[in-house]
Amino acid sequence: VEFWVDVVVATPVHSGLGQALTYRSEQLLAAGCLVRVPLGQRELLGIVWGEAAAPDAAAQLKTKAIISCLDGIAPLDAVWRAVVEFAARYYQRAIGEVALAALPPQLREMDGVQLARRQKLQALRKAKLQAKTGDGPGAGRQATGGEGGATASGALPDAQSATNTVAASAQQVSVIAQFFGESLPPSSSAPKPALLFGATGSGKTEVYLRCTARVLEQSAQAQVLVMVPEINLTPQLEARFTQRFAPLYGADAVVAMHSGMTPAQRLKSWLAAHTGQARIVLGTRMAVFASMPGLQLIVVDEEHDPSYKSQDGARHSARDLAVLRAKLQSEQALQVAPSPDTAKDRGGTNATVAQPCRVMLGSATPSLETWHACEQGRYQRLDMPQRVGDGALAALRIVDMRLAPKKALFAATLLAAIHERITRGEQSLIFLNRRGYAPVLACGACEWKSNCPHCSAYCVFHKIDRTLRCHHCGTTDRVPRACPECGNIDIAPVGRGTEKLEEQLAQALGIDTLLRPDGSPAVIARMDADTTRLKGSLEQQLAKVHSGDVDILVGTQMIAKGHDFRRITLVAAFNPDSALYSSDFRAPERLFSLLMQAAGRAGRDAALAGAQMWVQTMHPDHPLFAALKAHDYPGFARQQLAERTQAGLPPFSYQALIRAEARSQEAAQAFLLAATEAAAGVAAFEHVTLYPSVPMAIQRVANVERAQMLVESQSRAALQKFLSHWQSVLRATKVQGLIRWAMDVDPLTI
DNA sequence: AGCACGCCGACT
DNA sequence: GTCGGCGTGCTC
């Protein structure tokens, strides 16, 4: 007897292969099974996607047989497959590409034998551990200590674990009640996604913890997924979740998932989530594809953060997929949930009643898409306006730099305020979103500038190691002694980055002569991607700031995100003006969010009154600052949404970008021109607008020329229809010199 | 995407 | 004479 199954493998949509390949199999394999299959000269991992129709006689000849099935791993469930399939369709990629990219890389390389060996080893280790502690599997209550030593707090007794829980504020209690309050009549559809609109410091994390606790105690199979935008933020979150839940569910119950982990760690976390052993998965955007059969809650922290949008391969939005995943999971649960009758028929067997999955998006400055969804009533809004402990929000000081002397970098009032912080033993945080010393070097005698040889961008001057570095392709060169063009010695930095800002601020303050209240010398430090490149140096520098070794911290936006610095009472944005009149319509939204987050760094300690956020600007009358000053996100959102309605921009329209990379700009443009011409004959063409192709803002990166064009529609469905048909036409379009092309659906930067 | 095959320039 | 460049074509 022979069976035919459709298998997806990691081939991109351009490969010319269909979505799935048909293989012959001795047994009928269920959808979701992991298999190893031959493809050309290679042997690779595939996923059974379904039963296939028997191929005709001719096709049967070239149909190969499945090599093996990794039967140690349970098949990936229907919801997981549906999420992958949706993502592939929506973002215009191949199913196999999305599916296989969602698995841990090590799984892709291993065969069944290796995997079995590995699992046996782990089972053995676990058994040993249990024998030692005398703890049965799933005995709960007591932590198992944890083999990796991930938690020193592993074996807290009950009384102490209770002290892990801080008392919830009234608004937290109210918000949680609202979140779970939406009662679900038996035939109801999925619960609405919720937006937790909470000021910085209002204790959003505590809400996540309590919602997680509530979901986990409902059933022994329940699982929770918590996503954060950056790897940097996972350790502190992991610490809090482990502290809270390891005493209840064991140290293995919390696992992390992000690209900074070793392949072995990633595989381990993935398996733990897949088997249900892990109850909580914490991770970055990649975690949205974690296999979690018991998923009942997804939290997307800082949901507005652009990091949730993948910028390589399938350009999906993990936040949007999280919302979709919760919906599909709920629908599945409602479908399979036994009606009261059938439950009676089974005579009360312990068949698990599938639970719906909720999703909570958290932010102090939500994306306008999410905010708009709340206004329309599609999402439920949960408000937490007050900070925990009633710490006051920072007062905004807008400094009109038009009034400052021509060459002045810092307003005298700002310098005085920083100075005052030092004498009071408080900290200041100055941020400028540009690393390096100066963005470009220029010759004083001729036209020479420090252009990158491979990109249409300048090389940035880094004084610290006297290099010129391209931030786009990574090229690094020594700074020339003289102008390479004319030999002039006088080549000078133009503009400033964090390095120079630190230097000039130190000078302007006379930092060498400044003393803290205890008589020790004041210290200025810098923190950006350059100073935190080495492993562990971020933690080291954060520790220094926490311990009070640093009085003034200069840095890029990384210092504005997430980290709690207790003694900071002043935050200053050096020059955020470029975002005010940017051609990118999302720039104001990002700026507002960034400044709000930065302001949130100040005044976390209620005992230190008078927290201030300073902004130096040439445009003090810009409405963005008025809204910021009033801490009025709703007002800002209203104004932005009004502008977007007028201009017909998202969320009132739907966009996709098509990007081309080629040897020459002409070839890139030629492809887009051909694409434009081909579009006229494509389905739903009448419902979309195609804009002319343009070179990208940085036209050439690493000697590759780039161009893009925008496609827009009033209807998401029409855009989807158009893109998928257009795509198959474009696959057949050959242009000399074209390297690759891709579609970016719902692009964030244009 | 990988990986083959295939056809042209500088090296042991 | 071969090593290696990347153009073209194929993978159930």
Is pLDDT of A406 > 60? Answer: yes
Q: How far is the CA of A736 from the C1' of C1 (A)?
A: 33
CB A382 within 8 Å of CB A196 = yes
Q: Is A230 helix (H, G, I), strand (E, B) or coil?
A: coil
Is pLDDT of A137 > 70? Answer: no
Report the C-alpha gap between A56 and A197 in whole angstroms. Answer: 57
Alpha helices in A680-747 (DSSP H): 716-731
pLDDT digits (tens, 9 = 90+) for A1-36: 689 999 999 988 888 888 999 999 999 999 999 999
Per-residue pLDDT, averaged over A654-679, amounts to: 91
Q: How far is the CA of A730 from the C1' of B5 (A)?
A: 26
Per-residue pLDDT, averaged over A639-650, amounts to: 97
Is pLDDT of A684 > 90? Answer: yes
Angstrom distances, CA of residue A90 to CA of A285, A627, A731: 17, 35, 17
Report the C-alpha gap between A498 and A521 in whole angstroms. Answer: 22
State the pTM of this model: 0.91
* Residue-level pLDDT at A571: 95
Per-residue pLDDT, averaged over A40-57, amounts to: 90
pLDDT band at A147 (very low <50, low <70, confident <90, very high): very low
* Residue-level pLDDT at A281: 98
What ranges make up the beta strands (E) of A290-425?
295-301, 358-363, 380-384, 395-400
Q: How far is the CA of A606 from the C1' of B12 (A)?
A: 76
CB A292 within 8 Å of CB A218 = no
Q: How far is the CA of A724 from the C1' of C9 (A)?
A: 24
How many residues would you count in chain A? 750
Report the C-alpha gap between A51 and A61 in whole angstroms. Answer: 19
Q: For residue A193, what are its two tokens? A: 């996604």
* Residue-level pLDDT at A610: 84
Q: Which nucleotide is nearest to A97 (CA to C1')?
A: B1
Q: For residue A718, what are its two tokens? A: 């029409």
Is pLDDT of A227 > 80? Answer: yes
A185 touches strand B (CB under 7 A): no
A12 touches strand B (CB under 7 A): yes
Q: Is A513 exposed, middle or buried (0-12, 13-18, 19+ CB in 10 A)?
A: exposed
Q: Which nucleotide is nearest to A52 (CA to C1')?
A: C12
CB A556 within 8 Å of CB A432 = yes
Question: What's the whole-number average pLDDT of chain A?
Answer: 88
pLDDT band at A649 (very low <50, low <70, confident <90, very high): very high
Alpha helices in A3-111 (DSSP H): 57-62, 78-90, 95-101, 105-109
Report the C-alpha gap between A94 and A47 in whole angstroms. Answer: 13
Q: Which nucleotide is nearest to A734 (CA to C1')?
A: C8
Share of chain A above pLDDT 70, in %: 89
Q: How far is the CA of A569 from the C1' of C3 (A)?
A: 65
Residue whose token pair is 């198992």: A144
pLDDT band at A149 (very low <50, low <70, confident <90, very high): very low
Report the C-alpha gap between A173 and A171 in whole angstroms. Answer: 5
Q: How far is the CA of A696 from the C1' of B2 (A)?
A: 29
Angstrom distances, CA of residue A89 to CA of A85, A540, A574, A720: 6, 44, 43, 9
Is pLDDT of A158 > 60? Answer: no
Is pLDDT of A132 > 90? Answer: no
* Residue-level pLDDT at A695: 86
A108 touches strand B (CB under 7 A): no
Q: How far is the CA of A39 from the C1' of B4 (A)?
A: 13
Is pLDDT of A92 > 70? Answer: yes
Is pLDDT of A369 > 70? Answer: yes
Per-residue pLDDT, averaged over A105-109, amounts to: 84
Q: Which nucleotide is nearest to A66 (CA to C1')?
A: C12
Is pLDDT of A161 > 50? Answer: no
A16 touches strand B (CB under 7 A): yes
A15 touches strand B (CB under 7 A): yes
Amino acid letter, residue A515: L
* Residue-level pLDDT at A604: 74
Lowest-pLDDT choice from A131-135, A618-622, A679-683 = A131-135
* Residue-level pLDDT at A236: 87
Report the C-alpha gap between A505 and A230 in whole angstroms. Answer: 29
Per-residue pLDDT, averaged over A102-111, amounts to: 83
Per-residue pLDDT, averaged over A665-670, amounts to: 88
Q: How far is the CA of A41 from the C1' of B2 (A)?
A: 9
CB A612 within 8 Å of CB A571 = yes
* Residue-level pLDDT at A139: 39
pLDDT digits (tens, 9 = 90+) for A473-494: 888 889 999 999 999 999 999 9
Q: Which nucleotide is nearest to A65 (CA to C1')?
A: C12
Q: Which nucleotide is nearest to A64 (CA to C1')?
A: C12
Q: Which nucleotide is nearest to A40 (CA to C1')?
A: C11
A731 touches strand B (CB under 7 A): no
* Residue-level pLDDT at A313: 83
* Residue-level pLDDT at A71: 87
Q: Which residue is nearest to nucleotide B4 (CA to C1')?
A: A41
Q: Which nucleotide is nearest to A39 (CA to C1')?
A: C11
A14 touches strand B (CB under 7 A): yes
Share of chain A above pLDDT 90, in %: 64
Q: How far is the CA of A19 from the C1' of B3 (A)?
A: 20
Q: For residue A699, what are its two tokens? A: 């036209």
Q: How far is the CA of A202 from the C1' of B3 (A)?
A: 55
Quote the Cα angle for A281-A362-A334, to 5°. 65
Q: For residue A599, what are its two tokens? A: 């302001």
pLDDT digits (tens, 9 = 90+) for A283-307: 999 999 999 999 999 999 999 999 9
Q: Nucleotides of chain B within 7 Å of a protein C-beta?
A: 1-4
Is pLDDT of A142 > 60? Answer: no
Lowest-pLDDT choice from A311-325, A497-511, A589-603, A732-746 = A732-746
pLDDT digits (tens, 9 = 90+) for A512-565: 999 999 999 999 999 999 998 888 888 889 889 888 899 999 999 888 886 777
Q: Which nucleotide is nearest to A7 (CA to C1')?
A: C12
Give, as one character, the DSSP assignment of residue A451: B
Helical axes A633-647 vs A368-375, angle rounded to 10°: 90
Dihedral over Cα of A456, A461, A467, A469: its sign = negative
Of residues A443 and A148, more confidently modeled:
A443
Is pLDDT of A159 > 50? Answer: no
Residues 632-651 of A with CB under 7 A from strand B: none
Report the C-alpha gap between A368 and A365 in whole angstroms. Answer: 9
pLDDT digits (tens, 9 = 90+) for A606-616: 677 789 999 99
pLDDT band at A182 (very low <50, low <70, confident <90, very high): low
Q: Is A147 helix (H, G, I), strand (E, B) or coil?
A: coil
A313 touches strand B (CB under 7 A): no
Q: How far is the CA of A54 from the C1' of B4 (A)?
A: 29
* Residue-level pLDDT at A492: 94
Report how many helices (DSSP H) and strands (DSSP E) chain A contains, helices first: 21, 28
Q: For residue A65, what are its two tokens? A: 């047989």
Q: How far is the CA of A40 from the C1' of C10 (A)?
A: 8
List of protein residues whose beta carbon is under 7 A from strand C: A 11, 15-18, 21-23, 38-40, 62-64, 736
Give, as one character, the DSSP assignment of residue A65: B
pLDDT band at A436 (very low <50, low <70, confident <90, very high): very high
In SS3 terms, A266-284 reads as: HHHHHHHHHHCCCCEEEEC
Q: How far is the CA of A92 from the C1' of B4 (A)?
A: 28
CA dihedral A588, A561, A322, A8 (to 10 degrees): 100
* Residue-level pLDDT at A134: 45
Report the C-alpha gap between A668 and A348 in whole angstroms. Answer: 65
Angstrom distances, CA of residue A690 to CA of A155, A682, A694, A742: 61, 12, 12, 16
Is pLDDT of A263 > 80? Answer: yes
Q: How far is the CA of A162 from the C1' of C5 (A)?
A: 67
Q: How far is the CA of A729 from the C1' of B9 (A)?
A: 37
* Residue-level pLDDT at A160: 40
Q: Nucleotides of chain C within 7 Å of a protein C-beta?
A: 8, 10-12
CB A278 within 8 Å of CB A255 = yes
Q: How far is the CA of A600 from the C1' of B7 (A)?
A: 64
Cβ contacts of A108 within 8 Å, gap of 6 or more = A10, A44, A45, A100
* Residue-level pLDDT at A338: 57
Lowest-pLDDT choice from A45-59, A92-106, A730-744 = A730-744
Report the C-alpha gap between A250 and A268 in whole angstroms. Answer: 16
Alpha helices in A18-140 (DSSP H): 57-62, 78-90, 95-101, 105-109, 112-133
Report the C-alpha gap between A379 and A319 in whole angstroms. Answer: 14
Of residues A109 and A19, more confidently modeled:
A19
Report the C-alpha gap between A20 and A9 in whole angstroms. Answer: 7
Is pLDDT of A146 > 50? Answer: no
A42 touches strand B (CB under 7 A): yes
What ranges make up the beta strands (E) of A106-222?
194-198
Q: Which nucleotide is nearest to A24 (CA to C1')?
A: C12
Q: How far is the CA of A662 from the C1' of C6 (A)?
A: 15
